[in-house]
Structure 1
Amino acid sequence: MPSVSNAIIRITNLRLRTYIGFNPEEREKLQDVVINIEIHYPAEKAAITDDVEKALNYKVVCKEIIQHVEEGHFLLLEKLVGDVLDIATAHPWVSFASVTIDKPHALRFADSVSLTLEKHCCQDH
């Protein structure tokens, strides 16, 4: 098998509801958010061995993100995106992650407002 450098996991359009915003109506009413995540990690061992233990379990990452977002209250989109990025990069194998969260209908004449944060990580494997 040829050498594999990085796997890129993409979680696309994860639609959740949370409390996001600092206006009184935003603090009292659940709002939709759309989350897109990209996680990079070295996958050579998983690709060669087909061993689940050598792969990054994106289902576990996603469940933790869902719980955090749905149970949280956030004033700023920056805080929400930062928290999700921290969860996405928590595993020591992660070398890079990017998180974009859209807040649909945040502005009157726009489909959504989005914010993206990225993190380059040291690998520990």
Structure 2
Amino acid sequence: MAGNHVGFLVNCLILIRTSDVNECLQSQPRVCDHKCIDKPIGYSCECNKGFEINPNDSRLCQDVNECEKEFPCSQLCTNTHGAYKCSCVDGYVTHDGGHTCKANSFCLLIYSSGSHLSRMC
């Protein structure tokens, strides 16, 4: 069979993907720590209230220390996981939804004797 060549004809079909894969539906491992937002290309992660995106890994959320950033309490603030708690120093109680403090007793009499100022509560 001299002179006969066996040849191949290849037709390539290039498929262009027109629909996005929803990475947010991936169950294991979870794509985002809290909320996954599907986008036309890719995804983004969002965190629940009281949390923020971890600067080292945008898929993870970390607790926000509201006591350092917002100063939400009039006296004492304790950061908790995803929130905070306000409290008051001795002699005061929380007021107006727990963010402010007011004295729990009132002085009835303030008197002065020369250079000394005293109170009677």
* TM-score computed with the length of structure 1 as normaliser: 0.22
- Larger RCO, structure (CA 8 Å, separation 6 or more): 1
Q: Counting helix residues as a fraction of each chain, which structure ranks higher? A: 1
Larger radius of gyration: 2
